[in-house]
Amino acid sequence: MKNYNTLLDDLAPKKFNRLGVIWTIALVVIIIFGIIAYIDQVIKGQEVTNMRDYALWGIYISNFVFFVATSFVGSIIVAVLRLTKNEWRTPLVRIAEIITLASIVMAGITIMIDMARPDRLLYLFIYARLQSPITWDVIIIPTTIAISFLLLYFPLLPDLAILKKYFKKEKPRLSKIYGMLSLNWVGNKAQKAIQTKSIKIIALMIIPISIMLQTIDALLFSTTYRTGWNSTNMPAYFISGAFVAGVAALIAVVYVVRRTKKLESYITDFHFDKLGKLLALACLIYLYFNMNEYLIPAFTPSKEEDIHLRTLFTGSYSYLFWLVTIVGLILPIILLLFKKGRKPLPMFIIGMVVVIGSWWKRYIIITPTLLHPFLPIQGVPESWHHYFPSMHEWIITVATLAAALLIITLLVRYLPVIPIQRTAEEKELLETDIKH
């Protein structure tokens, strides 16, 4: 068994290696391109996108829904596994919290990118009307950002105090910052009592809040008359989809972090095995709601539903639809049933495929519906009958994804990705060991 010092050396934040530096710079460059493209969009208007009067929402919205979905991982891994007393979660919770915070922050930014009048952002508060699902979003997104931040921050306090000590001699400035952030944590009884209670409350709060978040996200669509959106199945469908996207994102990030930080002895095959089972469960639930969403309406379709479902099953969106459904959902379930499928590398590949599938899944939910309104599309240019994102939309969207990855990268760089204190406690390595 390792002693406390090696544990600290293993888990304390380390400088980027060369690959880390290149990766970070690449992300920053992509983000800069995205900002330039966005400024251009603000100046010229949304005509730089390929959205038009029929395809009135595009990848900004589907990307927003994707970010909202991945933010769900925090409440699953941290809160649900906590309530169900799944102790194996310990080395994964912080990464889940980091993904949640990065995703929900980027969701907030992405939805603003879609606004054609960002200069009127404050109107959402000044003239807010409570009956609009967008107002519900305006309320729930900042709430989720705040709760996600606290969910990351409170459990960090003991670790920050540890890092203050750890870096005292080598890096006094960094040590000072950790010290400030640790809010004078000394770990006495009173502090521990407050911390434990706070974490308990937040962990309980994050579950209903993230369920509300996913629900409101679904209601943006299901409160309209549109075929393919106007369904009471939508909230449950979105929640289960978020379960899939979130866990898959976690698996992908955990694999990369484990490799680059050499945490193989902390995040083991056992953890991947557990995560694999969790992802399989998520995918099965999602498959069930997919059947409710697409298969059941196919039995008694109205004229509009018939057109919509045909487009997905055999029409212009069928390749994407089946790719997303079979490769992004059914195949992972089959692979995850095997023990070999739940080993780290296969899991990483499955996780990535499911994440990419989840992204395109949102595209499939948003776009085809808009291109089949009740009245025929007439009197507009031929190009308005279709939608595929423009270069501006791609650059900006890729930049938002890069920004989420940058937030994750920086937090992983400067925070202990595996809780030091808790790991030490669980391994029964008390701080007194240092003296030996």
Count of C-beta atoms within a 10 Å radius of residue 162: 23
Judged by beta carbon, residue 84 or residue 378, the one nearer another protein is 378
**Token pair recorded at residue 172:** 């006094």
Nearest to 399 by CA among 114, 110, 112: 110
Count of C-beta atoms within a 10 Å radius of residue 225: 9
* Distance from C-alpha of 91 to C-alpha of 398, rounded to nearest angstrom: 29
Shortest spacing between CB 252 and another protein, in angstroms: 32
Which burial class, exposed, middle or buried, applies to 24 when counting CB atoms under 10 A from its CB (0-12, 13-18, 19+)? middle
Judged by beta carbon, residue 339 or residue 385, the one nearer another protein is 385
Stretch that binds another protein, among 67-75, 90-98, 142-150, 223-231 (CB under 8 A): 223-231
* Distance from C-alpha of 23 to C-alpha of 21, rounded to nearest angstrom: 5
DSSP letter at 324?
A: I
Choosing from 143, 223, 260, 268, the residue that interacts with another protein (CB under 8 A) is: 223
Shortest spacing between CB 194 and another protein, in angstroms: 38
Question: Site residues for another protein, window 133-152 (CB under 8 A)?
Answer: 133-135, 138
Judged by beta carbon, residue 142 or residue 187, the one nearer another protein is 142
Q: Please spell the DSSP secondary structure of 340-405, one letter per residue.
A: GGGSHHHHHHHHHHHHHHHHHHHHHHHHHHHTS-SS---SS-GGGG-----HHHHHHHHHHHHHHH
Judged by beta carbon, residue 23 or residue 384, the one nearer another protein is 384
Whether the CB-CB separation of 371 and 54 falls below 8 Å is answered with yes
Judged by beta carbon, residue 128 or residue 180, the one nearer another protein is 128
Q: Any alpha helices (H) in 261-329, and if so which ranges?
A: 269-290, 303-313, 318-322
Shortest spacing between CB 286 and another protein, in angstroms: 24
**Is 51 among the residues that bind another protein (CB under 8 A)?**
yes
Question: Site residues for another protein, window 371-400 (CB under 8 A)?
Answer: 373-382, 384
Judged by beta carbon, residue 93 or residue 111, the one nearer another protein is 111
* Distance from C-alpha of 361 to C-alpha of 60, rounded to nearest angstrom: 14
Count of C-beta atoms within a 10 Å radius of residue 9: 11
DSSP letter at 428?
A: T
Nearest to 327 by CA among 362, 353, 365, 291: 353
Choosing from 5, 132, 265, 316, the residue that interacts with another protein (CB under 8 A) is: 132
* Distance from C-alpha of 325 to C-alpha of 346, rounded to nearest angstrom: 19
Shortest spacing between CB 132 and another protein, in angstroms: 4
Judged by beta carbon, residue 128 or residue 345, the one nearer another protein is 128
Choosing from 192, 226, 422, 427, the residue that interacts with another protein (CB under 8 A) is: 226
What's the first-to-final CA gap in the chain, in angstroms? 15
Choosing from 5, 9, 25, 45, the residue that interacts with another protein (CB under 8 A) is: 45
**Is 117 among the residues that bind another protein (CB under 8 A)?**
yes
Question: What radius of gyration do the chain's Cα atoms show?
Answer: 23
Stretch that binds another protein, among 82-90, 110-118, 188-196, 285-293 (CB under 8 A): 110-118
Judged by beta carbon, residue 129 or residue 169, the one nearer another protein is 129
**Is 362 among the residues that bind another protein (CB under 8 A)?**
no
Stretch that binds another protein, among 42-50, 80-88, 92-100, 256-264 (CB under 8 A): 42-50
Question: Site residues for another protein, window 52-91 (CB under 8 A)?
Answer: 52-54, 56-57
**Which residue type sits at 372?**
H
* Distance from C-alpha of 188 to C-alpha of 186, rounded to nearest angstrom: 6
CA distances from 191 to 160, 196, 241, 292, 302 (A): 14, 9, 38, 49, 61
Stretch that binds another protein, among 16-24, 102-110, 118-126, 402-410 (CB under 8 A): 118-126
Choosing from 225, 428, 432, 435, the residue that interacts with another protein (CB under 8 A) is: 225
Choosing from 17, 196, 224, 318, the residue that interacts with another protein (CB under 8 A) is: 224
Residue in this structure with the two tokens 């989809």, named with its chain if needed: 241
- Count of residues engaged in binding another protein, rule: CB under 8 A: 47
* Distance from C-alpha of 168 to C-alpha of 156, rounded to nearest angstrom: 18
Shortest spacing between CB 285 and another protein, in angstroms: 28
Stretch that binds another protein, among 21-29, 117-125, 406-414, 428-436 (CB under 8 A): 117-125
Shortest spacing between CB 360 and another protein, in angstroms: 20
Shortest spacing between CB 47 and another protein, in angstroms: 4
Please report, as ranges, the residues that interact with another protein according to CB under 8 A. 44-47, 49, 51-54, 56-57, 114-117, 120-121, 123-124, 126-129, 131-135, 138, 220-221, 223-226, 370, 373-382, 384
